[in-house]
């Protein structure tokens, strides 16, 4: 029983839109923070610029993943291309980890090398960055929740990570300026702390993306809802098994339905169709339902 749900627009379209906006925003920020860090003698700001640059690259990967995930099924991919979406999330997490390592290595090098303290005006730049990044985070996360996209949620976390690393840079520069001579490396310690946070954020993005690629079971409440809908269909005596997996933006359901053992093949087939229709009507995210009919009671038949 195969039925492919169609609508006027694919959820990926909204994801692509916010990712494109994020790319433009991060390009501008990377240039501003890089220039401010260079002329203001702040490696924390330069580290921030590196993080924004990695965000641009990872956003492009998310964009490619979303476009691939939105493609309809074909002969080579009968279940669609939904796996491209969490795969993009995994690649993004690896980009973040690489950026964290680069920032960490450079921060340690700068801590061990005496250098000039950051300029006071860099605090104004960072303050504006923090406010802008937090607003973008909320904008992207709202869209990610609406379309239930792992990759776009990771994209939102990038913006939040950037905001937090900027806060760390602000604190580090402030300490270096207030402390004066001997506190110049506070800026670099802030960058090192930011690198550690970026690495942690990479793990948080990697974990759900990899789990989705491995078809990890969805939360019990999702499965329970599907079972309850199926149990409410006339002719269904019980649900023997029910599995739900997420593939990109859609859910796929495998369900074993118990019906009267004396029912005809036609009756069992009809009940199976009604179960499928009821599940798909109850949850628009369900893309397809594979229904298996079981006789009840089982003892009347040999397996």
Q: State the CATH number of the domain containing residue 249.
A: 3.30.70.1350
Among 181, 213, 245, where does a domain finish?
Answer: 213
Among 213, 232, 254, where does a domain finish?
Answer: 213
Domain count, the chain: 2
Is the dihedral angle over the CA atoms 223, 259, 279, 65 positive or is it negative?
positive
Among 213, 231, 254, where does a domain finish?
Answer: 213
Q: List the CATH number of the domain containing 124.
A: 1.20.1510.10
Contact assessment for residue 243 and residue 254, using Cβ atoms and an 8 Å cutoff:
yes
2 inside domain: no
- Looking at the chain, how many residues does it have? 303
DSSP 283: -
Residues in a beta bridge with 246: 251
Contact assessment for residue 59 and residue 19, using Cβ atoms and an 8 Å cutoff:
yes
Shared domain for 253 and 203, answered yes or no, is no
Shared domain for 276 and 207, answered yes or no, is no
- Bond into 297 cis (ω within 30): yes
Q: Which domain holds residue 254?
A: 220-300
Shared domain for 205 and 115, answered yes or no, is yes
CA distance to 17, 70, 157, per residue, from 127 (Å) = 27, 38, 19
**d(C-alpha 67, C-alpha 13), whole Å:** 8
- pLDDT string in tens for the chain (303-residue length): 333 344 455 666 777 788 888 788 888 888 888 888 888 887 767 877 877 777 787 778 877 877 777 777 778 877 777 788 788 888 888 888 887 888 788 778 878 876 677 788 888 888 888 888 888 888 888 888 887 777 777 778 777 777 877 887 788 888 888 887 777 788 778 778 878 888 888 888 888 888 888 877 778 888 999 999 999 999 999 999 999 988 877 888 999 999 999 889 999 999 999 999 999 999 888 888 999 999 988 755 544
3 inside domain: no
Contact assessment for residue 41 and residue 116, using Cβ atoms and an 8 Å cutoff:
yes
Shared domain for 200 and 230, answered yes or no, is no
């Amino acid at each position: 029983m195969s039925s492919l749900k169609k609508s006027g627009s694919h959820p990926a379209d909204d994801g692509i839109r916010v990712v494109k906006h994020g790319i433009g925003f991060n390009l501008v920020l990377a240039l501003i923070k890089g220039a401010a860090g260079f002329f203001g003698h702040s490696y924390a700001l330069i580290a921030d610029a590196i993080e924004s640059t990695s965000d641009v690259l990872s956003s492009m990967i998310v964009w490619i993943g979303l476009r691939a995930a939105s493609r309809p099924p074909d002969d080579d991919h009968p279940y669609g291309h939904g796996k491209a979406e969490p795969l993009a999330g995994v690649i993004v997490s690896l980009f973040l980890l690489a950026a964290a390592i680069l920032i960490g290595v450079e921060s340690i090098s700068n801590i061990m090398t005496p250098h000039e303290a950051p300029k006071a005006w860099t605090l104004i730049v960072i303050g504006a960055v923090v406010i802008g990044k937090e607003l973008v985070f909320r904008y992207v996360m709202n869209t990610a929740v609406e379309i239930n996209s792992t990759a776009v949620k990771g994209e939102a976390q990038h913006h939040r990570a950037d905001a937090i690393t900027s806060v760390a840079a602000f604190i580090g520069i402030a300490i270096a300026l207030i402390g004066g001579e001997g506190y110049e490396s506070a800026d670099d310690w802030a960058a090192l702390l930011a690198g550690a946070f970026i690495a942690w954020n990479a793990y948080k993005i990697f974990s759900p993306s990899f789990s989705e690629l491995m078809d990890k079971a969805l939360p019990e409440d999702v499965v329970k809802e599907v079972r309850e809908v199926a149990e409410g269909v006339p002719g269904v005596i019980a649900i023997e098994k029910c599995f739900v997996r997420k593939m990109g933006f859609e859910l796929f359901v495998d369900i074993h339905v118990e019906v009267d053992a004396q029912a005809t093949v036609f009756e069992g087939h009809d009940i199976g169709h009604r179960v499928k229709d009821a599940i798909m009507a109850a949850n628009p995210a369900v893309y397809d339902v594979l229904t298996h009919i079981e006789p009840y009671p089982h003892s009347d038949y040999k397996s």
